[in-house]
């Protein structure tokens, strides 16, 4: 059965808060199950709580616009078991639910344009993260949903994470598009956090922060356990941070993950894997990744230096301590890269610690070309977040520290545009069982 929100009095004028009307349609639909229809038009709303056995369908030409007013965002503190550090609540929300679908050809608008400010902190490059001036809510937060589907819709201009799934299982995200400001801080694309049995495919994501990032945040891990059995395939990604990322929040384990057949475009990093909080990342397969990575400007004219994480690395693995901490970071092991084709500006970077050695990494059948693409010269390593953070360093094609077991096979070449900036000699520190065939 279908429930049209206009039958409940919703007005498509982009100004009226339709939260009560939309929620009433969802409540009626949840009694027997069915579809809540958002027809063509611009419907402004405060927080909407989705319910079990309900499909929220956005018709072509429809826009569901998130209110930027704090009074329109509802605090579900009693249900929000694992939400920790969530900034100012969320727009679309569900918790402890089953069989929820968000689908259609319409758009969910986060109105990030109302909170981001270009204060020229990077001296005219206009590349560093924008300043934030105003209230911002997460676009979507879905916790402990079993049988979640997100299909076809467009997320537009999020001011915080676009699609955060915490402790969800049996998830399909298929054919969605995310178009966020590519200088927006924290406007991640898709964040599976402590989720299991997830497929993400056929998506186009443009964001300032990470495009797709797997996490095990502390409250989610404590309640729902490890993040595992994740397949991400056939996506086109642009980010000024990492296109495909695991970490840095690693309170629990993250395992059995496939990243495959993805195009990355103008990203600070193609693939980034971090442990910082004691978890183990293991049994990860990355294959058929093509595109380019490049360096962007850092902010210099603020009391803090806003930076993207990454300086153009094709592959980045880091097991290290958080700033000011010496707690065991965790373990990275059994990671395979195959058929990687990238143009990049910084090193293949694999760095562990004495008590957190990176183990058994394979990079095979790959071709990486170091070619100048930005106006910024190489010459720094970036290990954020850590005590080392960003520091000057000669850039080799391959850098390892505390790595045990690494195989690198393929074609690795330096274009004349970066000769003198990227060194053809690798740097291997405190590392063993290294096999290089190039």
Residue 142 parent element (H or E): strand 138-151
Beta-strand relationship, 2-4 and 331-344: unpaired
* Mean pLDDT of each 10-residue bin along the chain, 438 residues long: 98 98 99 98 98 99 96 68 59 97 99 94 93 91 98 98 98 99 97 99 98 97 97 99 98 99 99 99 99 94 84 98 93 99 98 98 98 93 94 97 99 96 97 97
The span from the CA of 135 to the CA of 112, in Å, is 10
CA neighbor of 241 nearest in space, from 212, 200, 201 = 212
What backbone torsions phi and psi does residue 19 show, to the nearest 5 degrees? -60, -45
Which residue shows structure tokens 């790959």? 366
Contact by Cβ (8 Å): 67, 18 = no
Domains and CATH numbers, the chain: 2-437 (2.160.20.10)
Instruction: Answer positive or negative: Cα dihedral of 433, 227, 186, 111.
Output: positive
Instruction: Name 206's Cβ contacts closer than 8 Å, sequence gap at least 6.
Output: 178, 179, 180, 182, 237, 238, 239
Which pair of tokens denotes residue 17? 């808060």
The span from the CA of 362 to the CA of 340, in Å, is 12
Polymer length of the chain: 438
pLDDT digits (tens, 9 = 90+) for 67-124: 999 999 876 555 555 554 455 689 999 999 999 999 999 999 999 999 999 999 998 9
Longest dimension (CA), the chain: 69
What backbone torsions phi and psi does residue 347 show, to the nearest 5 degrees? -70, 155
Enter the DSSP assignment of 299.
P
Contact by Cβ (8 Å): 298, 308 = yes
* Predicted TM-score (pTM) above 0.85: yes
pLDDT digits (tens, 9 = 90+) for 125-142: 999 999 998 888 899 999
Return the pLDDT at 156. 99
Q: Write out the DSSP string of 169-183.
A: EEEEEES-EEE--TT
Instruction: Answer positive or negative: Cα dihedral of 223, 228, 234, 236.
Output: positive
The span from the CA of 34 to the CA of 30, in Å, is 7
CA neighbor of 428 nearest in space, from 406, 411, 412 = 406
Return the pLDDT at 134. 85
Contact by Cβ (8 Å): 245, 221 = no
Helix (H, G, I), strand (E, B) or coil at 430: coil
């Amino acid at each position: 059965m279908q429930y049209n929100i206009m039958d409940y009095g919703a007005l498509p004028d982009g100004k009226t808060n339709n939260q009560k009307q939309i929620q009433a349609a969802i409540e009626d639909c949840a009694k027997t199950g069915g579809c809540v229809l958002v027809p063509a038009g611009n419907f402004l709303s405060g927080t909407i709580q989705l319910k079990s056995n309900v499909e929220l369908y956005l018709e072509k030409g429809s826009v569901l616009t998130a209110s930027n007013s704090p009074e329109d965002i509802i605090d579900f503190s009693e249900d929000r078991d694992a939400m920790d550090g969530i900034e100012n609540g969320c727009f679309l929300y569900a918790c402890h639910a089953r069989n929820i679908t968000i689908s259609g050809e319409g758009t969910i608008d986060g109105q990030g344009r109302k909170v981001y400010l270009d204060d020229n902190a990077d001296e005219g490059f206009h590349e560093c993260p924008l300043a934030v001036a105003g209230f911002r809510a997460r676009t979507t937060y879905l916790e402990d949903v079993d049988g979640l589907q997100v299909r076809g819709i467009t997320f537009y201009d999020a001011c915080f994470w676009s699609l955060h799934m915490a402790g969800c299982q049996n998830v399909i995200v298929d054919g969605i598009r995310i178009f966020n400001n590519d200088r927006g801080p924290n406007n991640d694309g898709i964040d599976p956090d402590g989720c299991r049995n997830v497929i993400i495919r056929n998506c186009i994501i443009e964001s300032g922060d990470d495009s797709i990032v797997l996490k095990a945040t502390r409250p989610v891990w404590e309640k729902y356990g490890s993040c595992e059995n994740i397949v991400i395939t056939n996506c086109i990604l642009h980010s000024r941070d990492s296109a495909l990322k695991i970490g840095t929040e690693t309170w629990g384990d993250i395992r059995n993950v496939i990243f495959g057949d993805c195009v990355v475009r103008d990203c600070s990093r193609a693939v980034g894997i971090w442990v910082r909080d004691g978890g183990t990342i293991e049994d990860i397969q990355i294959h058929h990744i093509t595109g380019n990575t490049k360096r962007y400007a850092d902010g210099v004219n603020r009391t803090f230096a806003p930076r993207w994480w990454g300086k153009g690395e094709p592959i980045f693995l880091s097991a290290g301590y958080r700033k000011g901490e010496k707690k065991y970071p965790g373990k990275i092991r059994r990671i395979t890269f195959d058929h990687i084709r990238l143009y990049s500006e910084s090193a293949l970077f694999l760095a562990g610690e004495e008590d957190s050695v990176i183990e058994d990494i394979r990079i095979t059948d790959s071709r990486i070309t170091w070619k100048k693409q930005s106006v910024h010269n190489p010459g720094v390593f970036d290990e954020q977040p850590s005590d080392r953070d960003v520091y000057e360093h000669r850039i080799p094609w391959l850098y390892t520290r505390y790595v045990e077991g690494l195989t690198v096979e393929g074609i690795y070449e330096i274009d004349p545009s970066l000769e003198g900036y990227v060194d053809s000699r690798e740097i291997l520190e405190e590392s063993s069982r290294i096999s290089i065939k190039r």
